[in-house]
Structure 1
Amino acid sequence: MEALLHTLQPLAAVLGAVLVALVLVWCARRLVHRVLRATPEVQLVTRKASNPARLVLAALGARIALGQTAAGEPWAAVVDYALVLLLIGSLAWFLAVVLVIVETVVLSRYAAVARDTRRLKRLETQIVLARRIGVALVITLAVASVLLTIDEVRALGAGLLASAGLISIVAGLAVQSSLSNVFAGVQLAFTGAIRVDDVVVVEESMGTIEEITLTYVVVQVWDERRIILPSTYFTSTPFENWTRRRSELLGTVELDLDWHAPVAALREHLDGILQNSPLWDGRTGSLQVTGAVDGVVRVRILVSAADSGSLWDLRCQIRESMVGHLQDAYPDALPRQRWESVSSPLPPPAER
């Protein structure tokens, strides 16, 4: 009976510690809800952080209880080591969740008061990248902590420190490309060269920045394809960013017409198109003759829109309307080729 009690005592202590941890987390949740009210941020914190907090406190309490009640037992060392690994993993999980919560709360609060969407996108890019860096560091430290709990790994680490010079050279050569991409990703995020939802032209394709990571950038093109580019591409290769300062853009529509084209009437028709189009932002709308060579008159229409998608649709709308208007009202203004027939006889062969 005494042996059974001696065996059950550590188990009861561990279960009691786990129960206390669960009660503490439950009390903390109730206290937070009562003091800070049930705001969306508080609900987010309690929902996401509860499980890792329970696991951290349970592992910590179980290890303390085991050390107090089962010291010297042959099986205690194995269980204690398992609890150490569980504590390291749960603590890393908790810290990663905290970083996600901070990211969500900061972005939601700034989005509620922000009027400049460009600044919001830049802040979003920076915070998301900072969170990813933080999570990567947490995971790295957690893995290193787990490895350092193994005696053989600690001994290997001491040997590696003795030959750190050679290893650092080899490692530097091995990870040079990866590190350059990481540094380029950080540079992109904090210099604002590109942001999420920016419209760019890369590899002769126009697309939208969909995602910026530490090592690569995802560009979504108009046909739903994704172009995956390393971060170093945007720091070493020239590219176009159509929304670097603002999203408003200018675009042109060019028409090659006959010399009989009624420019004033076409300008009036353009005004009617723009006034009735929700795609036009009202900033710029003009029609000018920019060339009159090679038997045609080149008419250029300059318009503005709030973003690249609206600009593309507006240009197509103007082009279609102008072509239809010319066909119906001014067919003589459509481009045509002229030639003159000369009927003079050929000279005799002797005179050629």
Structure 2
Amino acid sequence: MLETINPANWTIDWNAIAISSVSVLVAVVFAYLLYRFVFAIVSRITQLSESEADDILIQRIRAPIKWSFIAIGVTLAAQIDEALGLVWEPLAQFLRPALLGWIAYNVVKAFVATLELRMEGNEDPVAMRSRKTRIAVLSKIATFAIIVITIGLMLFAIPSVRSIGTTMLASAGLAALAIGAAAQPALKSLIAGLQVALTEPLRIGDLVKVDGDAGRVEEIKLPFVTVRTWDERLLIVPTARFLDGSFENWSRVSEMLTGPVYLHLDPIADVGPIREEFERFVTAHELFDGRNLALLMTEAYPESVELRLSMSAETIGDLWTLRCEVREHMLKWLRENQPDALIRHRLELPGGHAKAGEAPAP
């Protein structure tokens, strides 16, 4: 028994190895030439089409199709050469699902690239953000599904894993509970990403305010959303956070907003001239879109009054700039024309100065 497994007793059939090597070489060369012939014809056909979608698809699947042709050629050669089949068949069980997954992955990427190319001529920014968000989220879900299925098919090529899978199927109830408990965060993220794609509470490019920070949505992934703030910080927010809690979306319908500037003045302030100057300055400003313009006294206290100066602009960035310039201009105008309207707080402490405690001279 020991002699049969002794490596010294092993013999190498160089003749069989040479035949198998020649078979593989012939199969690879023939498959490659067939691949070049087929894609030459397909390229000619795609050149006759005015659409760029078929060009993108052919470019994406060219590499996986080439290796698929080679794998098919070697498989056909292995059907003839028994020695080659003993070596190739175990490898082919891993390569077949990997190549199919590679092709499916590239088809999804080509589909996404085609849709993004068609969106370039869309002048409606809201519709473009909506479609871009759906494409991004749904493509990530499709990619995730392709990767999981591909890895599963590759693992089931292992006999021990296949037997484990058969045992798990026999006790499907307990297995489903165990897998569901272990994969609950991943499933929650997957469902949340799908809900975001379908219901669109936020989209790529939207300006949102979450947990006190405002910024642009840069990327929507299944587990999280990235938000870029004005000071270039990147917020990583779980996708489920936008479905479980409340947040502000300032550009879901459009970027046209109305924003306020608050002035806290002394009650002696004459509101009429302040209103006239505010309306004159904003009306002449290039960023004002002409929709909303008003000055209201929203609060009145014994020591101060609150004026709300509201204005509108076409974009959120323009509105921010307009508010800053209105705030600066109005304070300058008040210092020059109504200095008494600016609130001043003075506090005198009798013990705070040496002369405070001295008796007045007779």
TM band (smaller chain)? 0.7 to 0.9
Distance 2:324 2:106 in 1: 48
Is residue 2:275 matched to residue 1:267?
Answer: yes
1:3 and 1:147 mapped to 2: Cα distance?
31
Distance 1:43 1:87 in 2: 25
Does the 8 A contact of 1:182 with 1:231 survive in 2? Answer: no
Which blocks of at least 5 consecutive residues in structure 1 are unaligned?
Answer: 340-352
Corresponding residue for residue 64 of structure 1: 76
Q: Which residue is equivalent to 1:332?
A: 340
Q: Is the 8 A contact 1:197 1:210 kept in 2?
A: yes
Gap change, CA 1:166 and 1:265, over 3 Å in 2:
same
Secondary structure of the structure 2 residue equivalent to 1:251: strand
Give the secondary-structure state (helix, strand or coil) at the position aligned to 1:244: coil
Match status 1:279 vs 2:287: yes
Question: Does the Cα contact within 8 Å between 1:25 and 1:53 map onto a contact in 2?
Answer: no
Aligned to 1:153: 161
How far apart in 1 are the matches of 2:17 and 2:236? Answer: 63
* C-alpha distance 92-2 of structure 1, shift in aligned 2 (>3 A): closer
Aligned pair count reads 334
Deviation at 1:36, TM superposition (A): 1.4
Which residue does the alignment assign to 1:254?
262
- 1:10 is aligned to 2:35: no
Match of 1:88 in 2: 97
1:218 aligns with 2:230: no
Alpha-carbon spacing, 1:210–1:6, altered in 2? closer, same or farther (3 Å): closer
CA distance in 2, matches of 1:179, 1:6: 51
Q: Is the 8 A contact 1:256 1:298 kept in 2?
A: yes
Superposition TM-score, scaled by structure 1 size: 0.85
Other-structure match for 1:44: 56
Q: CA deviation at 1:21?
A: 3.7
Aligned to 1:124: 132
After TM superposition, the structure 1 = structure 2 runs for residues 221-236 of structure 1, keeping only pairs within 5 Å, are 221-236=229-244
Query: Partners in 1 of 2:300 and 2:204 — Cα distance?
Result: 43
- Per the TM alignment, residue 9 of structure 1 is displaced from its structure 2 partner at its CA by 4.3
Q: Which ranges of structure 2 fall in alignment gaps of 5 or more residues?
A: 1-13, 348-362
CA contact (8 A) 2:141 2:190 kept: no
Q: Is the 8 A contact 1:210 1:218 kept in 2?
A: yes
- Asked if 1:186 is matched to 2:186, the reply is no
1:102 maps to which residue?
111
Residue aligned with 2:291, SS: strand
The alpha carbon displacement at 1:190 in A equals 0.6
Deviations 1:108-156 (A, max 9, x none): 22442x3432222122111211111111111112111111222222112
Which residue of the other structure, out of 144, 149, 152, is the alignment partner of 2:152?
144
Q: CA–CA distance in 2 between the matches of 1:183 and 1:5?
A: 55
CA distance in 1: counterparts of 2:40 and 2:96, whole angstroms: 21
Q: Deviations over 1:249-305 (max 9, x none)?
A: 111111122344343332332233323433322211222233333233322101112
Aligned to 2:352: none
* Separation in structure 1 between the aligned mates of residue 119 and residue 229 of structure 2, nearest angstrom: 29
Structure 1 pair 263/23, CA: closer, same or farther in 2 (3 Å)? same
SS in 2 for 1:66: helix
Tell me, yes or no, if structure 1 residue 317 matches structure 2 residue 325.
yes
Question: Hey, what's the Cα distance between the residues in 2 that align with 1:58 and 1:310?
Answer: 58
Q: Quote the offset at 1:336 in angstroms.
A: 4.2
**Separation of aligned partners in 2, 1:302 and 1:4:** 85
SS at match of 2:251: coil
Superposition RMSD in Å: 2.6
- Partner of 2:235, secondary structure, is strand
Percent identical: 29
Shift of 1:12: 3.8
Offset at 1:99? Answer: 0.6
Task: Give per-residue Cα distances to partners, 1:74-128, cap 9 Å, x unaligned.
Answer: x43222332443332222112111111111212322442x343222212211121
Q: Secondary structure of the residue that 1:104 maps to in structure 2?
A: helix
For residue 45 of structure 1, report the CA deviation from its aligned partner. Answer: 2.7
Conserved? CA contact 2:295–2:309, under 8 Å: yes
Instruction: Describe the superposition over 1:30-76 as per-residue Cα deviations: whole angstroms up to 9, x where unpaired.
Output: 32343215x54344333322212212222222212332x31x22x43
Task: Name the residue aligned to 1:293.
Answer: 301
- In structure 1, give the amino acid aligned to 2:278: L
Contact 2:27 2:74 (C-alpha < 8 Å) held by counterparts: yes
Q: Distance in 2 between matches of 1:120 and 1:260?
A: 51
Distance 2:312 2:337 in 1: 26
Preserved contact between residue 137 and residue 222 of structure 2 (Cα < 8 Å)? yes
**Partner SS for 2:191:** helix
Q: What SS class does the counterpart of residue 328 from structure 2 fall into?
A: helix
- In 1, Cα distance between the equivalents of 2:94 and 2:141? 23
Q: Is the alpha carbon distance of 1:316 and 1:127 closer, same or farther for their aligned partners in structure 2, counting shifts above 3 Å?
A: same
Distance in 2 separating the partners of 1:55 and 1:11? 14
